[in-house]
Structure 1
Amino acid sequence: MKRFHIALAVRDLDESIIDYSARLGQPPAAVVPGAYAMWRTDLLNFSINQSPSRVGELRHVGFEDDEAPEYASSTDCNGLLWEAFSAAEQDRRIVSTYGVAVRNA
């Protein structure tokens, strides 16, 4: 499966989880309290991280792709960072960057 990935910086993680869960119609698939949340829908991989100094900023975009052999990133002609990764690789990076996530079934 291939999902489009969007990553945003938010002011308040808990408030944002409530808002985006309502907008996406489901709770996040993973949460690192006080730091990070991620949703996986059929078409979208959407993540947020608490970063009050960068609130509302698009951090990066890309694709979660089960066939991606490894994590890769590049910058497009507009200076936007694009990432490509498998779900397993993203899960590893969540732990190494933010800590162990609470998982929702």
Structure 2
Amino acid sequence: MKLNRLCYACDLINDAGLIEEYETYHQKIWPEIEKSILEAGIADMEIYRCGNRLFMITETSADFDPEVKKQMDLDNPKVQEWENLMWNYQQAIPFAHEGEKWIPMKRIFKL
């Protein structure tokens, strides 16, 4: 099965204690969150951190639609609870629009 790779960026609040808590939550995400990710067509997901900048790589099915995932998340109370909790640690990157969190990244090079 052909997978598509999508990459996103987000920032954390630049506080060592909060960053440590954020990483702890991601050592074992809630089962409902994992289920929602997989049900949306995301086959794999990794998050990397450099300072307070996060970089997320997703491998998605060919028919994955970010807008459908967004609506699924809005309709899922447990996902909303998780997202609200994560906003205690995250902040929008400087050029994000109001309400944007994970910003799609543009690939500029591939070997």
- Whether TM-score is above 0.5 comes out as no
Structure with greater strand share of residues:
1
| Bigger RCO (CA 8 Å, 6+ sep) | 2
Structure with greater helix share of residues:
2
Which structure is larger by alpha-carbon Rg, 1 or 2?
Answer: 2
